[in-house]
Amino acid sequence: MQSTNLIFTDNLRNSLKQWLADYAPTQVYVLCDEHTNALCLPLINNLDSLKSAHFMTIPAGDQHKNVETLSAVWQFLSQNGATRKSVLLNVGGGMVSDLGGFAAASFKRGIDVINLPTTILAAVDASVGGKTGINFNGLKNEIGAFHLPKAVLFYAPFFHSLDRDNILSGFSEMLKHGLLSDEAYLGELMSLDLEEPDNTAFLNAIKRSVEIKADITEKDPQEKGLRKALNLGHTAGHAFEALSHHRNEPVLHGYAIAWGLICELYLASKLLGFPSQTLHQVIQFVKDRYGIFQITCQDYSFLYEAMTHDKKNDTKAINFTLLSNVGTICLNQTADKSLIDEMLDFYRDAMGI
């Protein structure tokens, strides 16, 4: 995506009017979930550019990012006369961006998408870069497609509705961007006041993280090389997330990624000499803010099996993106089962389990 399509706006009315001008009024479709329907739609549903739009609300929660909900969105588009000239406006968090984007990518072989992220997680991650998908067979984003949005509109008042857990969930992706970027930005992030997500420093950090992700995905839209850097923390993190769903005690995506960063930075220190001091700074930061995800030795086989299904793997070993230092990215690093077990042992020790 070109950077000109990333719109940080204080005037959503004018920005939406501009980006919807190419579509007939009856060709605009708005997708949200139950939460954004209640908290965020009141900020936009009186806009002239949406008066003739078709609206659909889906159930909230990652457990609904599935084939059944996807099929319901296809039905909504079909029954309301959507064509290849239509646009789907995704108003919501990462679940809405992912599922709505995939619905648009697959309906009539592709219709346009505009994303309005309403969470920090969606703003700095799911809404940018064109990855779309649904969960399948208990695996995160197992089915999906690359489908770039025409534009992403960032509107800070949406973030006012977020509770602390959802602020932290989005922030873990920003922490990842800091690790991928440089020590100055990482230090800036770790000193932010996470209780005030609408202050200038926090909003500037959100913009910086969006730009970091957009720059990487523009250079490598189909994840052939550099884009794999954005997987830092996600191989282990997705496994933790899968285990939480298996237990019927789901955790927020960003929390799982924060715990995954601890695991993968340990691998980076073991394999590539990532600085121990930085590793322990991140461990303390995560413990203080995200708490502890409890695992035992009996969970290791489930976690390893979940990692083997990760889409990044193309060998018998588990594939990771790691760092030799902050900002020094090492792609396609592998670990066998014994090293994975050692990584999980370290996680338990680090978290005091």
Q: How much is the pLDDT for 1?
A: 42
User: In the predicted model, is pLDDT for residue 314 greater than 70?
Assistant: no
Tokens of 231: 């997987």
How far are the Cα atoms of 44, 125, 263, 264, 267 from residue 323, in angstroms, in the given order? 42, 20, 12, 9, 9
pLDDT in tens, 237-264: 999 999 998 999 999 999 999 999 999 9
Express as a percent the part of the chain with pLDDT over 70: 97
**Is the per-residue pLDDT at 148 higher than 50?**
yes
Q: How many CA atoms lie within 13 A of 34 on its CB side?
A: 6
* pTM of the shown model: 0.90
Residue 197 in this model has a pLDDT that exceeds 80 = no
Question: Is the pLDDT score of 271 beyond 70?
Answer: yes
| Cα Rg, the chain, nearest whole Å | 20
Q: 28-33 and 6-8 as β-strands: parallel, antiparallel, unpaired?
A: unpaired
Domains and CATH numbers, the chain: 3-161 (3.40.50.1970), 164-351 (1.20.1090.10)
Please determine, for residue 133, whether its predicted confidence score (pLDDT) is greater than 60: yes
- The percentage of residues in the chain with a pLDDT greater than 90, rounded to a whole number, is 84
Q: Please give the backbone phi and psi of residue 7, each rounded to the nearest 5 degrees, phi first.
A: -110, 110
Instruction: Say if strands 6-8 and 54-58 run parallel, antiparallel, or are unpaired.
Output: unpaired
Nearest-CA neighbor of 279 among 218, 233, 221? 233
Closest to 188 measured CA to CA, from 167, 199, 174, 198: 174
Return all residues near 194 (Cβ < 8 A) that are at least 6 apart.
164, 167, 168, 171, 202, 289
SS3 223: coil
Q: Is the pLDDT of residue 266 over 80?
A: yes
pLDDT at 3: 46
Residue 311 pLDDT greater than 70, yes or no: no
CA distance 62 to 74: 18
The predicted-structure confidence for 288-306, as pLDDT tens digits, reads as follows: 999 999 999 999 999 999 9
- If you search the block for the tokens 């659909």, which residue do you land on? 56
110: nearest Cα among 87, 140, 128:
87
pLDDT at 199: 84
Cα 258 from Cα 243, distance rounded (Å): 15
Q: Bridge partners of 7?
A: 153
Handedness of CA 194, 199, 203, 205 (dihedral sign): negative
pLDDT at 268 over 90: yes
Q: Identify which has the larger pLDDT, 56 or 311.
A: 56
Q: What pLDDT score does 254 carry?
A: 95
Beta strands in the chain (DSSP E): 6-8, 28-33, 54-58, 87-92, 112-117, 131-136, 139-146, 151-154, 318-325, 328-335
**Contact by Cβ (8 Å): 212, 180:** yes
Angle in degrees, 0-180, between the axes of helices 183-190 and 164-181, rounded to the nearest 10: 160
